A and B are shown apart, each in its own frame.
Chain A
Amino acid sequence: MVGDGIEGLAAARLWAATRFPYLATGVFGAQVIADPGSGTVSVDENWRMRADPELTAQWTPAQLGSVLVHHVCHLLRTHGERAQASGVGAGADRARDARDWIRAADAEINDDLVPAGLDLPGSPVLPRDLGAEDGLLAEQYYAAIRDGRRPVQGPEGGLGGGTRDRSGREKPGDEAGGWLDCGSGADGVPRPGQEPGGLPDWQADLLRRQVAQDVISHAKLAGNVPAGMLRWAEEVLSPRVNWRKVLAAELRRAVFEVSGAVDYSYRRPSRRSAVAGNVVLPALRRPVPEVAVVCDTSGSMTEALLAMVLAEVEGLLQALGLARQVRVLACDYAVAPAQRVSSARQVQLVGGGGTNMGAGIEAAAALRPRPAVTVVLTDGYTPWPPAPPKGMRIVVGLLGPRAPDAPVWARAVRVEPDDLPGGLRK
């Protein structure tokens, strides 16, 4: 079970399991294989670590244990999969992208585990090396690295120089720090000579959930779990659904429930009537619903967020084949006349203090033809009417993290300002 030929592995794992008891299941779940001559310690997506015994012999048990914990975190946080989602390995300079991504992923792991006692050999990548603050996601660090590169020698000129072996990897020949390549488990790019096998995906999922459960129960008992780790565990056990998906489903449902109010009509006989002899069968009729959007334009709304959600709503309605019928009402305390906008950017935030979405909903109900579905985009700080106008379905998009709840008669979707794929959150 203990990797043959790697001296001090047992002590290293024991150190890791003692120092980070909530990660012990993950540390023992990874298979460690000796890989002489590779000059690094790397991990693949199927929980197999390859370590160069010559390299690890230079480390203390605490250092080797820390490298193991670090690699297990790559796997727990599914960095390989997320790298692929971020387009690593698809661009023009694949090697550089992969290097950048690994640094970003390292920063995501190290920002709270290094303060918690991770003792990595060399100088680990920390968010400040990337010119970013702590507590962000690898995707955000990755963006920071790419932004930082545009001016070749930016204000963080020290980033590439000095003693930082991992962060200074840009300089050719500066590879002395060892364990540079974290492997396909960190960037999702398969390495040559990587054999199939290891832990299958579904078992890796179970292992990840088990560790998340350990983290939560350890936090309840002992309470000394880093906050980033705890957020990760909560996200794994009760994943947050992406608001775009919920908004899409709510809108589809509202529109289809109206258009799906199918009625039998004798205006046009059914094409099946010939089969039925003398009986005239009714045909199905499907009204196409009108949709209106009411936008809160009071001062408390942020323009960027509103534009983002409005673009999303327009895209969804277009996919439903309804885009032509959409009318947008800008509303703070009074309601501006309905405008047909062709792009989300045309909606202007003019409002001042007060907000009353009730007025906006009423104005939408007064439109002719009357909309069957109204989408209200607001920050939630508004009075609501006690009931929706008769025969109208209302979907409320609540913008901003602290928006108060929408009334019970509306279907509410919470929209949070994140631009991350899949609503990922650390």
Chain B
Amino acid sequence: MSVTPGSNPAAEALGVAVAARVPVLLWGAPGTGKTSAIRAMAQTMGLPCETVIASIREPSDFAGLPIVVGDGVRFAPPAWARRLAEAGRGLLFLDELSTAPPAVQAALLRVVLERAVGDLTLPDEVAVVAAANPPEQAADGWDLSAPLANRLCHLAWRTDPRAVADGLAGGWAAPVVPVLPDGWEAEQIMARGLVAAFLHVRPALACAPPSDPATAGRGWPSPRTWDMAARLMAAAGASGASEEARSALIAGAVGDGAGVEFLAWLVQMDLPDPEAVLADPASFRLPERGDRAYAALAAIAAAVSANPTPERWAAGWQALGLAAEAAPDVGATAARVLAKCRPEGVVEMPAEIKLFAPVLRDAGLM
């Protein structure tokens, strides 16, 4: 709904995942252009693209064909794998993943994560991309097995009516694979640190396999997917991707529930630390957005009321005073909390309280 014309967060996220070499899976109804978007992307980027339709393959197509050689058996890789290995880079595109029977899905586990096809290992520069129809939309759909689902970043491929209109009139825009600057992987350390700090607060989300079968085929939090999320976060940061694409990648890796909690936690982390503000109130900068300003000021007032010493109380008022001009209403809600916790021995009301008097009177609260 809020997609600005010309931008498609799912396409952007797809580009970032390919650049980061994280296996990615596009979910979408048949006919919505998943396959053509992936092929167009490979073509514009000049990458060789091998399309393998998983549903009409056998397990041995991915595990290698057993051939008797002398007194042993060799697992010969199929032609598509050999072509990709010779090219040294490219895109392995697994189409119709959700219609692949479980035995084929099991054979795909090593291909997706380790790029191993039989006795052959595909080069690191080969990216794995997959597309699937939700099982309820494909007549013969199977649910993705939880282990396979856990090795992929799941992106919802939605069609924006405006993009369809533009595409029909002027050709489809291919998703772009951003070029990541050298050394971007160093940023993973930072991203991993954030993930680690979050899991410290919410240990239950470190590994939470899906319990009901309706959600089993999508992303779910596990050590592997958190690692994937950290890598994707670093890649999104290095390529300057939009916040919307970044959030889609994180939620795609670890699942919607855990992803949203992590994103909410990141927003909280951006807020000023109330104790730091109370130590140095002059440094306080009011966040721009109203709800964040409210959260910051409420946290300061709560910190003072938890331990109301005269110094902290005065520092709290000083911080509120800085907010009075830009957001008198937001400040006044915190001021009401602060006024109620006047420490014993403080007789004089602070000067800042006057700043809030007009708005409190207008609202009929004074």
A18 touching B143 by the CB < 8 A rule?
no
Cβ of B103 within 8 Å of any chain A Cβ, yes or no, is: yes
A28 touching B290 by the CB < 8 A rule?
yes
A10 touching B139 by the CB < 8 A rule?
no
Q: Which residues of chain A are near B288, meaning CB under 8 Å?
A: 1
Cβ of A260 within 8 Å of any chain B Cβ, yes or no, is: yes
B243 touching A249 by the CB < 8 A rule?
no
Cβ of A246 within 8 Å of any chain B Cβ, yes or no, is: yes
Q: Which residues of chain A are near B66, meaning CB under 8 Å?
A: 276, 279, 281
A207 touching B1 by the CB < 8 A rule?
no
Binds A, one of B116-124, B323-331, B341-349: B323-331
Cβ of A380 within 8 Å of any chain B Cβ, yes or no, is: no
A252 touching B143 by the CB < 8 A rule?
yes
Summarize B's interface: helix, strand, loop or mixed: mixed
A14 touching B136 by the CB < 8 A rule?
no
Binds B, one of A102-110, A196-204, A344-352: A196-204
Using a CB-CB cutoff of 8 Å, which residues 304-344 of chain B contact chain A?
A: 326-330, 332-333, 336
**Shortest Cβ distance from B77 into chain A, in angstroms?**
13
Between A and B, how many residue pairs show CB distances below 8 Å?
Answer: 162
Task: Kindly state the separation between the CA atoms of A262 and B142 in the bound complex, as whole angstroms.
Answer: 15
Using a CB-CB cutoff of 8 Å, which residues 167-225 of chain A contact chain B?
A: 196-207, 209-210
Q: Which residues of chain A are near B290, meaning CB under 8 Å?
A: 1, 28-31
**Shortest Cβ distance from A259 into chain B, in angstroms?**
9
Cβ of B60 within 8 Å of any chain A Cβ, yes or no, is: yes
A25 touching B2 by the CB < 8 A rule?
no
Binds A, one of B88-96, B147-155, B182-190, B210-218: B210-218
Cβ of B29 within 8 Å of any chain A Cβ, yes or no, is: no
Cβ of A12 within 8 Å of any chain B Cβ, yes or no, is: yes
Q: Contacts A262-B103, A275-B67; is A205 near B260 (CB within 8 Å)?
A: yes
Q: Which residues of chain A are near B248, meaning CB under 8 Å?
A: 202
Task: Kindly state the separation between the CA atoms of A197 and B66 in the bound complex, as whole angstroms.
Answer: 57
Using a CB-CB cutoff of 8 Å, which residues 206-236 of chain B contact chain A?
A: 212-216
Task: Kindly state the separation between the CA atoms of A276 and B365 in the bound complex, as whole angstroms.
Answer: 87
Residue among A2, A207, A253 with the most chain B CB within 10 A?
A2
Cβ of A278 within 8 Å of any chain B Cβ, yes or no, is: yes
Q: Which residues of chain B are near A204, meaning CB under 8 Å?
A: 2
Tell me how many residues of A have a C-beta within 8 Å of chain B. Answer: 64
Cβ contact of B327, chosen from A1, A61, A65, cutoff 8 A: A1
Query: What mask results when residues 17 to 28 of chain A are scored 1 for a CB within 8 Å of chain B, else 0?
Result: 110010011101
The chain B residues found within 8 Å of chain A, CB to CB, are 1-2, 4-5, 58, 60, 65-68, 76, 101-103, 135-136, 139-143, 212-216, 243-244, 247-248, 260, 263-264, 267, 288-291, 293-295, 326-330, 332-333, 336, 359-360, 362-365
The chain A residues found within 8 Å of chain B, CB to CB, are 1-2, 8-15, 17-18, 21, 24-26, 28-31, 45-46, 61-62, 65, 80-81, 196-207, 209-210, 241, 245-246, 248-250, 252-253, 256, 260, 262, 272, 275-279, 281, 284, 286, 319-321
